């Protein structure tokens, strides 16, 4: 299944341009870069094994040039059916989605897809630990929001509620994730206080 | 990082041709197809949430035609740094690699990469549940082999031991995974007896 063009282009660019040219986010690094660095640090320290899933791609045409690597000549972006990150921490399955917004006052729910919420609910039913990491880039603040809170907001929205999560909700119901040099989005420290 | 050409071509084809034209494997379906069907059945039954990770691809060039989907025009296969499948079952992190061989007498270790073993060891250290599913297609038998057993064999190999796992080892130290219509590779039933 493909995104509508505009959406896909946006989705792709937001991912790519970030990893190429840092945005005006916390410490000038993108959330994805910060989380990847953090996960590498966790892995190196034997703290957790958490990886970002590859971008799902529908491969249509592949060339096999002689004496060189196979080249994918035609492929399309597929919409992710799950979240971006998962792994294991102290035996517990950890699963989360990470998003950043330049918006200063709220996080638009258009950043999340119905099937991702569906996946998160399935994970919670299996007693996995599921949450979102949301960065307000312009404010330089990164929040942990437990999936249960996300669900209640999401369900209200589907019943005609507002289409975004106000910054205040993150302040009050989320947890500010500390920045640390060795783990720039130290979300496990939050899980420790919060959960495990 | 790319595979050497031959290897990558092989890796890619083995994956692709399987999903297109079933092999002479158990019930004429490929192991990957059977596991995907099984995971869908587990998901539908609320038994577990386990997905196959997308094939890792290095995207180099993307076109954005007007009024149609973005097209990836140049990309390369990257070697998977982890295993193919992971997810959650009863709160426990489950992680495994699945391979099939036409070989009747042994499973060649060349099917597994050093960094996959490395990943499996990291997962075990986090108390995740890690194993391999190996199908002898020609015999129509699919085995569960716990990661610990794989490690000991792998480590012997690196010390000059044999470069394959004899069929007898699967018979004696592995567990035959039952075929069920609703779950063609019912590996959770094995975990239940074995572990959880």
How would you write the pLDDT of chain A (196 residues) with one tens digit per residue? 444 444 444 434 444 333 333 333 345 689 999 999 999 999 999 999 999 999 999 999 999 998 888 999 999 999 888 999 999 999 899 999 999 999 999 999 999 999 999 999 999 999 999 999 999 999 999 999 999 999 999 999 989 989 999 999 999 999 999 999 989 999 999 988 765 5
pLDDT tens sequence across B57-113 = 999 999 999 888 899 999 999 988 899 999 999 989 999 999 999 999 999 999 999
- Which residues of A are less than 8 Å from B91 in CB distance? 92-93, 126-128
> At B26, is the pLDDT very low, low, confident or very high (cuts 50, 70, 90)?
very low
Q: What is the mean pLDDT of the segment spanning B163-178?
A: 96
Q: Is B179 on the interface with A (CB under 8 A)?
A: no
**Residue matched to tokens 């991912």:** A15
B-contacting residues in A 5-44 (Cβ below 8 Å): 5, 8-9, 12, 16, 43
> At B195, is the pLDDT very low, low, confident or very high (cuts 50, 70, 90)?
low
What string of H, E and C letters represents the secondary structure of chain B?
CCCCHHHHHHHHHHHHHHHHCCCCCHHHCCHHHHHHHHHHHHHHCCCCEEEECCCCEEEEEEECCCCCCCEEEEEEECCCCCCCEEEEECCEEEEEEEEEECCCCEEEHHHCCHHHHHHHHHHHHCCCEEEEEEEECCCCEEEEEEHHHHHHHHHHHHCCCCCEEEHHHHHHHCEECCCECCECCCHHHHHHHHCC
- What pLDDT is stored for residue A26 in this prediction? 42
Closest in A54, A77, A122 to B55, CB measured: A54
What string of H, E and C letters represents the secondary structure of chain A?
CCCCHHHHHHHHHHHHHHHHCCCCCHHHCCHHHHHHHHHHHHHHCCCCEEEECCCCEEEEEEECCCCCCCEEEEEEECCCCCCCEEEEECCEEEEEEEEEECCCCEEEHHHCCHHHHHHHHHHHHCCCEEEEEEEECCCCEEEEEEHHHHHHHHHHHHCCCCCEEEHHHHHHHCEECCCECCECCCHHHHHHHHCC
Q: Is A123 on the interface with B (CB under 8 A)?
A: yes
> At B191, is the pLDDT very low, low, confident or very high (cuts 50, 70, 90)?
confident
Of the residues B16, B47, B51, B75, the best mutation for testing chain A's interface (the one with the most A CB atoms within 10 Å of its CB) is: B75
Of the residues A50, A88, A95, A120, the best mutation for testing chain B's interface (the one with the most B CB atoms within 10 Å of its CB) is: A88
Q: Do B5 and A68 touch (CB under 8 A)?
A: yes
**Residue matched to tokens 């994805």:** A32
> At B4, is the pLDDT very low, low, confident or very high (cuts 50, 70, 90)?
very low
Please tell us whether the domain made up of A27-54+81-194 is placed in CATH 3.40.50.11780.
Answer: no
Q: Do A95 and B88 touch (CB under 8 A)?
A: yes
Q: Is B88 on the interface with A (CB under 8 A)?
A: yes
- What pLDDT is stored for residue B37 in this prediction? 96
Average pLDDT of chain B is 86
């Amino acid at each position: 299944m493909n995104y509508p063009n505009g959406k896909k282009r946006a989705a792709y660019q937001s991912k790519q341009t970030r990893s190429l040219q840092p945005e005006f986010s916390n410490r000038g690094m993108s959330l994805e870069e910060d989380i990847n660095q953090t996960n590498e640090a966790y892995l190196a320290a034997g703290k957790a094994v958490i990886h970002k899933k590859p971008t799902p791609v529908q491969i249509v045409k592949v060339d096999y040039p002689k004496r060189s690597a196979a080249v994918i000549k035609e492929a399309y972006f597929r919409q992710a059916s799950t979240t971006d990150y998962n792994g294991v921490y102290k035996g517990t399955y950890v699963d989360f989605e990470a998003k950043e917004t330049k918006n200063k006052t709220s996080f638009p729910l258009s950043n999340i897809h119905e099937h991702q919420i569906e996946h998160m609910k399935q994970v919670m039913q299996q007693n996995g630990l599921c949450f979102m990491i949301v960065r307000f880039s312009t404010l330089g603040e990164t929040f942990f929001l437990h999936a249960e809170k996300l669900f209640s907001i999401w369900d209200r929205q589907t019943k005609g509620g507002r289409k975004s999560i106000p910054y205040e909700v993150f302040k009050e119901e989320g947890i500010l994730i500390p920045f640390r040099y060795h783990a720039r989005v130290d979300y496990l420290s939050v899980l420790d206080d919060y959960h495990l």
